[in-house]
Amino acid sequence: MDQPTTLLDGIEIPDFGERRYPYAVIEVTRHCNLRCTTCFFFQAFQHEEKNLSDDALLAKLGKLARRHGIRFMSWVGGEPLLRRRVIEKGVRLFEQNVLFTNGTLPLPDLPIAIGVSLDGPPEINDAIRGAGVYEKVRFTLTTAPRPVFIQSVVTTRNVSVLDRFTADLTALPNVLGVIYSIYVPQKDDTSGLAFTLPQRDQVIQTLLGLKEQHGGFILNEHRALELALSPTCRQVTDQCDMRENSLALDYRLRRRRPCCYGEQVDCDLCAAPTPFSMAARAMARPYGPRGDVALAEAIAGTRSASPAQAAACGVDPPPPARSPQNSS
């Protein structure tokens, strides 16, 4: 049990002991300029708690980076770019950073990976994210200072149009590729967005087919997708490295367990890209890197896809978090 030990801005900040966490996720804020129908943040955030100030949050993140050896940071929300100063200063604290944004605010010109969320072609995306959001994102991409990747959660709503959606994405400006993340349900999930395992196997076959068709534009790793098929998925999720080696923090620096998807997540139905990527790489080199190093290599893999990526992109997307899977 993490013990509260520090008062910061009048907020109790837990202590996470001495162990090392190569990988962390920070929910920069729960505020957002969108109101996606699939996002529960606004219901959950009605009794809003105070955010840490920018300076307090940055100071504490710096301490955590040093104490726990955090090398990779994922910046999620809410909409993290509503706290732009935190992002601009905070990314200097870590070797590698990935920012997930809803793409409706101007993107920062930073040497980090940026994932922009789209949920499907305009009619599907905007039914979930709000009228005109797809077009806003397209405009953001047109003016992006560096190339980005698209982060898209595959659900029962968009699975039938992935072919057309992927083709559309290849035509968008400043897009390096897309990572598809199959919706990870909570244990009591009644959203109607989740797949059964047999359905999910079909989704994975669809993604493998898209990868054949579009090659490196589909950023999901081939072996990681294969491992997520039902005969092998539990071997990965039962030993998921994220439980022990990632530090997932909410906007008041409270730890989320087992990972950024929160305590109600159904690990048995998780096919998030990162644990499967890490497992695929660890299996490929059993005497080599552990998961954390495998993640570093995943990052390098993203970088090597093209010179533009090398210049612009530092990180393989981490698991989009619950709400974070829709957030931002």
Instruction: Work out whether strand 255-256 and strand 246-249 pair parallel, antiparallel, or are unpaired.
Output: antiparallel
Residue 77 sits in the site that holds ligand SF4 (CB under 6 A): yes
Residue 116 sits in the site that holds ligand SF4 (CB under 6 A): no
Give dist(CA 302, CA 310) in Å, integer.
8
Residue 51 sits in the site that holds ligand SF4 (CB under 6 A): no
Q: Which stretch binds ligand SF4 (CB under 6 A): 61-69, 167-175, 308-316, 320-328?
A: 320-328
Buried b or exposed e, range 43-81, using 16+ CB within 10 angstroms? eebeeeeebbeeebbbebbeebbeebebbbbbbbbbbbb
Residues facing 149 on adjacent strands: 115, 177
- Residue 171 tokens read as 């035509």
Shortest Cβ 254–ligand SF4 spacing (Å)? 17
Give dist(CA 160, CA 169) in Å, integer.
16
Shortest Cβ 221–ligand SF4 spacing (Å)? 15
Beta-carbon-side half-sphere exposure of residue 164 (alpha carbons within 13 Å): 10
Give dist(CA 7, CA 11) in Å, integer.
5
Buried b or exposed e, range 167-180, using 16+ CB within 10 angstroms? ebbeebebbbbbbb
* Residue 79 near residue 11 (C-beta atoms within 8 A): no
Nearer to ligand SF4, 36 or 73 (CB): 36
Shortest Cβ 108–ligand SF4 spacing (Å)? 17
Residues 225 to 284 in contact with ligand SF4, rule: CB under 6 A: 237, 240, 242-243, 258-259, 261, 265, 267, 270, 272, 275
Nearer to ligand SF4, 13 or 278 (CB): 278
Shortest Cβ 7–ligand SF4 spacing (Å)? 28
Residue 327 sits in the site that holds ligand SF4 (CB under 6 A): yes
Residue 34 sits in the site that holds ligand SF4 (CB under 6 A): yes
Residue 153 sits in the site that holds ligand SF4 (CB under 6 A): no
Could you give the angle at the alpha carbon of 82 between the alpha carbons of 77 and 87, nearest 5°? 75
Q: Which stretch binds ligand SF4 (CB under 6 A): 34-42, 51-59, 60-68, 308-316?
A: 34-42
Nearer to ligand SF4, 41 or 165 (CB): 41
Nearer to ligand SF4, 77 or 314 (CB): 77
Interacting residues toward ligand SF4 by CB under 6 A: 32, 34-36, 39, 41, 77-79, 102, 129, 184, 237, 240, 242-243, 258-259, 261, 265, 267, 270, 272, 275, 319, 326-328
